[in-house]
Amino acid sequence: MSTLRMAAVAAEFGRDLEADFAKVARLIEEARTAGVRLLALPEACLGGYLLSLDDEAELDAGPPALAVDGPEIRRLAALAGEMTVVAGYCEAAYDGPEGTGQVRYNSVVCVTGDGVIGNHRKVHQPLSEDASYSSGDRFHAFDTPVGRIGMMICYDKAFPESARALALDGAQIGVCVSAWPGARTAAAADLAEDRWKRRFDLFDRARALENQLVWVSANQAGTFGSLRFVGSAKVVDPGGDILADTGVAAGMAIAELDVVQALETARRSMAHLRDRRPETYTPAGAVNA
Protein backbone atom coordinates (compact mmCIF):
# COMPACT_ATOMS: atom_id res chain seq x y z
CA MET A 1 0.00 0.00 0.00
CA SER A 2 1.14 3.54 -0.78
CA THR A 3 -0.28 6.24 1.46
CA LEU A 4 -0.61 9.91 0.60
CA ARG A 5 -0.33 12.62 3.21
CA MET A 6 -2.48 15.55 2.15
CA ALA A 7 -3.47 18.84 3.76
CA ALA A 8 -6.08 21.57 3.38
CA VAL A 9 -5.44 25.08 4.67
CA ALA A 10 -7.73 27.62 6.33
CA ALA A 11 -5.95 30.99 6.38
CA GLU A 12 -6.46 34.71 5.86
CA PHE A 13 -5.14 36.42 2.73
CA GLY A 14 -5.43 39.98 1.45
CA ARG A 15 -4.44 42.34 -1.35
CA ASP A 16 -0.73 42.54 -0.49
CA LEU A 17 0.75 39.99 -2.86
CA GLU A 18 4.15 39.95 -1.16
CA ALA A 19 2.53 39.28 2.21
CA ASP A 20 0.45 36.53 0.61
CA PHE A 21 3.54 34.89 -0.88
CA ALA A 22 5.30 35.08 2.49
CA LYS A 23 2.36 33.26 4.10
CA VAL A 24 2.20 30.72 1.28
CA ALA A 25 5.93 30.03 1.71
CA ARG A 26 5.45 29.46 5.46
CA LEU A 27 2.50 27.15 4.90
CA ILE A 28 4.34 25.14 2.26
CA GLU A 29 7.33 24.76 4.58
CA GLU A 30 5.06 23.71 7.45
CA ALA A 31 3.42 21.13 5.21
CA ARG A 32 6.77 19.90 3.91
CA THR A 33 8.02 19.40 7.48
CA ALA A 34 4.88 17.36 8.19
CA GLY A 35 5.51 15.12 5.19
CA VAL A 36 2.61 16.48 3.13
CA ARG A 37 2.72 15.73 -0.60
CA LEU A 38 -0.56 17.39 -1.65
CA LEU A 39 -1.39 20.84 -0.25
CA ALA A 40 -4.55 22.82 -0.98
CA LEU A 41 -4.52 26.58 -0.31
CA PRO A 42 -7.69 28.73 -0.37
CA GLU A 43 -9.48 30.48 -3.18
CA ALA A 44 -7.91 33.88 -3.93
CA CYS A 45 -4.91 33.23 -1.70
CA LEU A 46 -2.78 35.24 -4.14
CA GLY A 47 -4.22 38.73 -3.91
CA GLY A 48 -7.31 38.22 -1.78
CA TYR A 49 -11.00 37.83 -2.59
CA LEU A 50 -13.71 40.48 -3.07
CA LEU A 51 -14.58 42.93 -0.31
CA SER A 52 -18.29 42.13 -0.54
CA LEU A 53 -20.84 40.11 -2.48
CA ASP A 54 -23.60 42.73 -2.17
CA ASP A 55 -24.73 44.50 -5.33
CA GLU A 56 -24.65 47.95 -3.74
CA ALA A 57 -21.32 47.55 -1.94
CA GLU A 58 -18.36 49.76 -2.75
CA LEU A 59 -15.53 47.61 -4.04
CA ASP A 60 -11.85 48.24 -4.67
CA ALA A 61 -10.08 47.37 -7.91
CA GLY A 62 -9.98 43.74 -6.84
CA PRO A 63 -7.05 41.33 -6.69
CA PRO A 64 -4.16 41.66 -9.11
CA ALA A 65 -4.76 39.72 -12.33
CA LEU A 66 -1.99 37.16 -12.93
CA ALA A 67 -1.18 35.19 -16.07
CA VAL A 68 -1.15 31.42 -15.60
CA ASP A 69 2.22 31.37 -17.37
CA GLY A 70 3.47 34.52 -15.62
CA PRO A 71 6.19 35.12 -13.02
CA GLU A 72 3.90 34.85 -9.98
CA ILE A 73 2.71 31.35 -10.84
CA ARG A 74 6.30 30.34 -11.63
CA ARG A 75 7.21 31.66 -8.17
CA LEU A 76 4.49 29.50 -6.64
CA ALA A 77 5.80 26.47 -8.52
CA ALA A 78 9.33 27.11 -7.26
CA LEU A 79 8.01 27.21 -3.69
CA ALA A 80 6.13 23.95 -4.24
CA GLY A 81 9.23 22.02 -5.28
CA GLU A 82 8.54 18.31 -4.95
CA MET A 83 5.05 18.91 -3.50
CA THR A 84 1.83 19.21 -5.48
CA VAL A 85 0.26 22.55 -4.49
CA VAL A 86 -3.18 23.90 -5.39
CA ALA A 87 -3.84 27.64 -4.97
CA GLY A 88 -6.48 30.18 -5.94
CA TYR A 89 -5.74 33.41 -7.83
CA CYS A 90 -7.25 35.98 -10.20
CA GLU A 91 -6.32 34.92 -13.73
CA ALA A 92 -5.67 37.40 -16.50
CA ALA A 93 -6.63 36.16 -19.97
CA TYR A 94 -7.10 37.95 -23.27
CA ASP A 95 -9.97 37.77 -25.74
CA GLY A 96 -10.89 39.75 -28.79
CA PRO A 97 -8.94 40.44 -31.97
CA GLU A 98 -5.29 39.47 -31.48
CA GLY A 99 -5.85 39.12 -27.74
CA THR A 100 -6.45 42.82 -27.12
CA GLY A 101 -9.14 42.63 -24.40
CA GLN A 102 -8.27 41.49 -20.90
CA VAL A 103 -10.69 39.15 -19.12
CA ARG A 104 -10.43 38.21 -15.44
CA TYR A 105 -11.29 34.76 -14.07
CA ASN A 106 -11.54 33.47 -10.54
CA SER A 107 -9.14 30.56 -11.00
CA VAL A 108 -7.26 27.80 -9.22
CA VAL A 109 -3.94 26.39 -10.38
CA CYS A 110 -2.13 23.14 -9.57
CA VAL A 111 1.67 23.27 -9.64
CA THR A 112 4.81 21.37 -8.78
CA GLY A 113 8.38 22.53 -9.10
CA ASP A 114 8.18 21.47 -12.76
CA GLY A 115 5.46 24.04 -13.47
CA VAL A 116 1.70 24.16 -14.02
CA ILE A 117 -0.11 20.81 -14.15
CA GLY A 118 -3.73 22.01 -14.18
CA ASN A 119 -5.89 25.13 -14.11
CA HIS A 120 -9.63 25.65 -13.49
CA ARG A 121 -11.77 28.75 -13.97
CA LYS A 122 -14.72 29.05 -11.58
CA VAL A 123 -17.93 28.18 -13.38
CA HIS A 124 -20.68 29.04 -10.89
CA GLN A 125 -20.72 32.62 -9.61
CA PRO A 126 -22.77 33.57 -6.53
CA LEU A 127 -24.56 36.85 -5.93
CA SER A 128 -22.62 39.75 -7.51
CA GLU A 129 -19.39 37.90 -8.26
CA ASP A 130 -20.06 38.02 -12.00
CA ALA A 131 -19.51 41.78 -11.88
CA SER A 132 -15.83 41.11 -11.14
CA TYR A 133 -15.05 37.88 -13.00
CA SER A 134 -15.91 36.10 -16.22
CA SER A 135 -17.13 32.52 -15.89
CA GLY A 136 -15.32 29.31 -16.76
CA ASP A 137 -17.06 26.71 -18.90
CA ARG A 138 -15.79 23.23 -18.04
CA PHE A 139 -14.68 20.72 -15.41
CA HIS A 140 -11.87 18.28 -16.06
CA ALA A 141 -9.51 15.97 -14.20
CA PHE A 142 -5.77 15.65 -14.82
CA ASP A 143 -2.88 13.47 -13.75
CA THR A 144 -0.42 14.61 -11.07
CA PRO A 145 2.43 12.99 -9.11
CA VAL A 146 -0.06 12.21 -6.31
CA GLY A 147 -2.90 10.83 -8.42
CA ARG A 148 -5.62 12.06 -10.75
CA ILE A 149 -7.11 15.32 -9.44
CA GLY A 150 -10.15 17.42 -10.27
CA MET A 151 -10.44 21.00 -9.04
CA MET A 152 -13.30 23.38 -8.37
CA ILE A 153 -13.86 26.68 -6.60
CA CYS A 154 -16.26 27.46 -3.75
CA TYR A 155 -19.84 27.76 -5.13
CA ASP A 156 -19.00 25.14 -7.79
CA LYS A 157 -19.43 22.48 -5.09
CA ALA A 158 -23.06 23.44 -4.50
CA PHE A 159 -23.84 21.79 -7.84
CA PRO A 160 -23.63 17.97 -7.81
CA GLU A 161 -22.90 17.95 -11.54
CA SER A 162 -19.54 19.67 -10.94
CA ALA A 163 -18.01 16.95 -8.80
CA ARG A 164 -19.75 14.22 -10.81
CA ALA A 165 -18.14 15.51 -14.00
CA LEU A 166 -14.74 15.28 -12.33
CA ALA A 167 -15.42 11.79 -11.00
CA LEU A 168 -16.56 10.60 -14.44
CA ASP A 169 -13.31 12.02 -15.82
CA GLY A 170 -11.42 9.71 -13.49
CA ALA A 171 -10.65 12.04 -10.58
CA GLN A 172 -9.48 10.15 -7.51
CA ILE A 173 -9.16 13.32 -5.43
CA GLY A 174 -11.45 16.32 -5.59
CA VAL A 175 -9.84 19.57 -4.46
CA CYS A 176 -12.18 22.47 -3.72
CA VAL A 177 -10.70 25.84 -2.76
CA SER A 178 -13.04 28.44 -1.30
CA ALA A 179 -13.61 31.90 0.08
CA TRP A 180 -16.83 30.76 1.75
CA PRO A 181 -18.25 33.30 4.21
CA GLY A 182 -20.71 33.01 7.04
CA ALA A 183 -24.35 33.94 6.52
CA ARG A 184 -25.06 37.45 5.23
CA THR A 185 -28.30 37.76 7.25
CA ALA A 186 -29.17 36.48 10.72
CA ALA A 187 -25.51 35.57 11.21
CA ALA A 188 -24.72 33.37 14.20
CA ALA A 189 -22.66 34.98 16.95
CA ASP A 190 -20.70 31.72 17.15
CA LEU A 191 -19.34 31.04 13.68
CA ALA A 192 -19.27 27.31 14.45
CA GLU A 193 -23.10 27.46 14.61
CA ASP A 194 -23.53 29.50 11.42
CA ARG A 195 -25.90 28.01 8.85
CA TRP A 196 -23.57 28.77 5.93
CA LYS A 197 -20.77 26.95 7.76
CA ARG A 198 -23.10 23.98 8.12
CA ARG A 199 -23.85 24.04 4.40
CA PHE A 200 -20.13 24.25 3.60
CA ASP A 201 -19.51 21.09 5.62
CA LEU A 202 -22.52 19.25 4.18
CA PHE A 203 -21.45 19.94 0.60
CA ASP A 204 -17.93 18.66 1.33
CA ARG A 205 -19.17 15.40 2.80
CA ALA A 206 -21.90 14.87 0.21
CA ARG A 207 -19.61 15.45 -2.79
CA ALA A 208 -17.11 12.93 -1.40
CA LEU A 209 -19.75 10.31 -0.57
CA GLU A 210 -21.90 10.49 -3.70
CA ASN A 211 -18.84 10.20 -5.95
CA GLN A 212 -16.84 7.93 -3.63
CA LEU A 213 -13.67 9.96 -3.95
CA VAL A 214 -11.25 11.67 -1.57
CA TRP A 215 -12.17 15.31 -0.97
CA VAL A 216 -9.73 18.06 0.05
CA SER A 217 -11.39 21.36 0.95
CA ALA A 218 -9.46 24.59 1.66
CA ASN A 219 -11.04 27.90 2.68
CA GLN A 220 -10.25 31.45 3.65
CA ALA A 221 -10.36 32.23 7.38
CA GLY A 222 -10.69 35.48 9.31
CA THR A 223 -12.30 38.54 7.72
CA PHE A 224 -11.88 40.60 4.57
CA GLY A 225 -14.02 43.63 3.78
CA SER A 226 -17.55 42.80 4.91
CA LEU A 227 -16.97 39.04 4.74
CA ARG A 228 -16.34 36.71 7.67
CA PHE A 229 -15.05 33.37 6.43
CA VAL A 230 -15.94 30.05 8.04
CA GLY A 231 -12.53 28.34 7.79
CA SER A 232 -13.39 24.65 8.18
CA ALA A 233 -10.66 23.28 5.91
CA LYS A 234 -10.89 19.50 5.86
CA VAL A 235 -10.03 16.17 4.29
CA VAL A 236 -12.93 13.77 3.70
CA ASP A 237 -12.70 10.08 2.80
CA PRO A 238 -14.79 8.36 0.06
CA GLY A 239 -17.38 7.36 2.64
CA GLY A 240 -18.08 10.98 3.56
CA ASP A 241 -16.26 10.80 6.90
CA ILE A 242 -14.08 13.74 7.91
CA LEU A 243 -10.50 12.63 8.54
CA ALA A 244 -9.14 16.04 9.58
CA ASP A 245 -10.74 19.47 10.10
CA THR A 246 -9.47 22.88 11.22
CA GLY A 247 -12.79 24.06 12.62
CA VAL A 248 -13.55 27.75 12.10
CA ALA A 249 -10.03 28.87 13.05
CA ALA A 250 -7.03 29.21 10.77
CA GLY A 251 -4.99 26.03 10.54
CA MET A 252 -3.98 23.05 8.46
CA ALA A 253 -6.02 19.84 8.31
CA ILE A 254 -3.65 16.93 7.62
CA ALA A 255 -4.67 13.35 6.85
CA GLU A 256 -2.95 10.28 5.45
CA LEU A 257 -4.72 7.73 3.28
CA ASP A 258 -4.03 5.06 0.71
CA VAL A 259 -6.16 6.72 -1.95
CA VAL A 260 -6.30 3.82 -4.39
CA GLN A 261 -7.19 1.31 -1.67
CA ALA A 262 -9.77 3.69 -0.16
CA LEU A 263 -11.50 4.10 -3.51
CA GLU A 264 -11.45 0.37 -4.21
CA THR A 265 -12.94 -0.38 -0.79
CA ALA A 266 -15.66 2.27 -1.11
CA ARG A 267 -16.67 1.12 -4.59
CA ARG A 268 -16.39 -2.64 -4.04
CA SER A 269 -20.09 -3.42 -3.66
CA MET A 270 -22.16 -0.24 -4.01
CA ALA A 271 -20.31 1.63 -6.75
CA HIS A 272 -22.16 4.89 -7.37
CA LEU A 273 -20.48 5.68 -10.68
CA ARG A 274 -20.93 2.14 -12.02
CA ASP A 275 -24.57 1.90 -10.96
CA ARG A 276 -25.71 5.15 -12.55
CA ARG A 277 -28.75 5.17 -14.88
CA PRO A 278 -28.19 8.41 -16.80
CA GLU A 279 -30.93 7.65 -19.32
CA THR A 280 -33.50 8.14 -16.53
CA TYR A 281 -32.32 11.47 -15.16
CA THR A 282 -33.81 13.97 -17.63
CA PRO A 283 -37.47 14.79 -16.95
CA ALA A 284 -39.74 14.59 -19.98
CA GLY A 285 -39.91 17.97 -21.70
CA ALA A 286 -37.02 19.41 -19.72
CA VAL A 287 -34.82 21.81 -21.69
CA ASN A 288 -31.94 22.51 -19.31
CA ALA A 289 -32.00 19.42 -17.10
What's the average pLDDT block by block, 10 residues per block, for the chain (289 residues)? 93 98 98 98 98 87 96 98 98 74 94 98 96 96 98 98 98 98 93 97 98 98 97 98 98 98 97 96 73
**Alpha-helix runs per DSSP H in the chain:** 17-33, 71-80, 160-168, 195-211, 259-266
Residue 181 is classified by DSSP as B
Positive/negative CA dihedral, 138, 142, 147, 151: negative
pLDDT of amino acid 99? 56
Q: Which H or E run includes 238?
A: none
Neighbouring CB atoms inside 10 A of 192's CB total 13
**Taking the C-alpha atoms of 231, 132, 66 and 136 in order, what is their torsion angle to the nearest 10 degrees?**
80
According to the model, what pLDDT value does residue 24 have? 98
Distances from the Cα of 67 to the Cα of 63, 73, 91, 287, angstroms: 13, 8, 6, 37
pLDDT tens per residue across span 99-154: 567 899 999 999 999 999 999 999 999 999 999 999 999 999 999 999 999 999 99
Q: What is the pLDDT of residue 95?
A: 74
Confidence at residue 100, expressed as pLDDT on a 0 to 100 scale: 61
Q: What is the DSSP letter of 283?
A: P
